[in-house]
Structure formats: C-alpha cells, structure tokens
A and B are shown apart, each in its own frame.
Chain A
Amino acid sequence: MTEVIGVVEEGRIKLPESVRLPEGQSVRVLLDGAWDPDQPLPPLEDEEWTEEEMRLEIEQALKQRARP
C-alpha cells in the first residue's frame, strides 16, 4: 500500500496532481484528528444572506402574485 497525503477542500479530498488513480480504485482514508459524523456540513454560499437581501427576495416573490 502506498501512502499519499491529501487535503480536504469543499468536502472533497484533493490529492497532489502527480497522483493518478485508475477508475474504480479503492482507497482507505485515515484521518488526522477526530471526526464528528454529526457535525453539520458548511453552507454552500460564500456570503451570508443579509436582512436586505431577504427583503428584496420576499418583495420579488410576493410581486409575482400581484402580476396579472
């Protein structure tokens, strides 16, 4: 077995570009540190919704109803 060090980016394991794995290859992942399976996953967005953005969203959504 060959050991390769990767890093987690956006929930995915990124390996060095020099590592080429054939399709279907099994890999074993050993974690440094503890892993909490109940830890909530991070949000998708980079920016948190603001009150103003929500106000605009609601205004537009409700406007749809008013359109003939």
Chain B
Amino acid sequence: MIVIADAGPLLHLFWVDALAWALPPQPVFVVEAVWREVSRHAPEALQDSRLQRVPLSFPVPPVLTDRRLDSGEEAALAYALTQPEGVDVLVLCDELRARRACRDLSLTVRGSVGLIIEAAQGGRVSPETARATLRDLPARGRLYVSAGVIAQALAAIDAVEGDLP
C-alpha cells in the first residue's frame, strides 16, 4: 500500500504529540505543496523519517478541478491518481471537501482520528493514551471537530479495548 499525506493529519498529530505512533509504520509520501504547507506551520513535523518528499509536480486531472480543494489537497490527490491500477492507495486527510473527493474517486482516506484508532488497535499506543490524544485534537490539535463528535471516536476506543488480548 502507498500512503500519501495531506497537511492536516501531519500537523494535527504533531501538535498532539502523536505523530510517532499514529502515522502508519511505513513510508508516507508528501508532495511538494503539502511539504511547504506543513513547513509553514511546523517544520519540525517533517523530521519524521517515514516522510518521503515528492518534489515533482503532477498535472491536475479534470476530476479534481471545480472541487474547491486547496493546492496541497489537489496536489496530493493528483499524485494519488497517478498510481498504477491495482496498487492500494491510502490518502491521509482531514479536510471534509477533500475527503469527499477521495470517496468519489474510490481513494481510501483516513484522517487523524482514524489513524489514532488504528494505532490503538495495532497496539502501538495504549487505549488510555489514544483517548487522551483524541480529547486533545480539537484544541491543541486544531482539528475542526466538536467534543461531542469526538465522543464517537472515544466510544470506538472503548470497543477496541474490549477486543484487545
């Protein structure tokens, strides 16, 4: 599977000190526009060795125009769409407009919340830490989500905890 990141998850997870365990344990490709965006907010986030800078630019296909995506989202999705058929692609993104575009284009998408849940499932983080991190996402993490909606994710961690050996 090839993992391509938009700026959102990289920044949100960095701000809540979760990047180390919440990012998938494999290379994560970051296109140039996203790299620059992350660099403006938190250049230290880009020091994670899994992040692979993609310095090339890709033509934006018509399916992505008129979707009001920002330049980073557009570039990340354009890169995702260049992957050969048969290759599993996972796009990391938290902006709803871009996430809808991913679903429309049959691209698997995961956000900061999903990555935290997966990390808890995989034992990379304790359920307790996952819950605390989820609670931090709205304020310290700057994810645009209410505490009420985060409660759904907290319930998911409870379910994960019940399945753990």
- Which A residues contact B (CB, under 8 angstroms)? 12, 40-51, 53-55, 57-58, 60-62, 64-65
> In the complex, what distance in Å separates the CA atom of A28 from the CA atom of B3?
42
Query: Nearest CB to that of A43 among chain B residues?
Result: B144
Does B117 reach chain A (CB closer than 8 Å)?
yes
Q: Are A51 and B152 in contact (CB under 8 A)?
A: yes
Q: What mask results when residues 16 to 48 of chain B are scored 1 for a CB within 8 Å of chain A, else 0?
A: 000000000000000000000000100000000
Q: B117: which A residues are within 8 A, CB to CB?
A: 58, 61-62
Q: What are 12 contact pairs spanning A and B, CB under 8 A?
A: A43-B138, A43-B143, A44-B12, A44-B94, A44-B142, A46-B97, A50-B96, A54-B113, A54-B152, A57-B114, A62-B117, A65-B160
> In the complex, what distance in Å separates the CA atom of A26 from the CA atom of B89?
44
Interface size counted on chain B using CB atoms at 8 A: 35
> In the complex, what distance in Å separates the CA atom of A64 from the CA atom of B1?
13
Best-surrounded residue of A12, A43, A47, A51 (most CB of chain B within 10 A): A43
Query: Nearest CB to that of A40 among chain B residues?
Result: B139
> In the complex, what distance in Å separates the CA atom of A1 from the CA atom of B80?
49
Nearest 4 A/B pairs, CB to CB? A43-B144, A61-B114, A45-B144, A49-B145
Q: B138: which A residues are within 8 A, CB to CB?
A: 43
Does B7 reach chain A (CB closer than 8 Å)?
yes
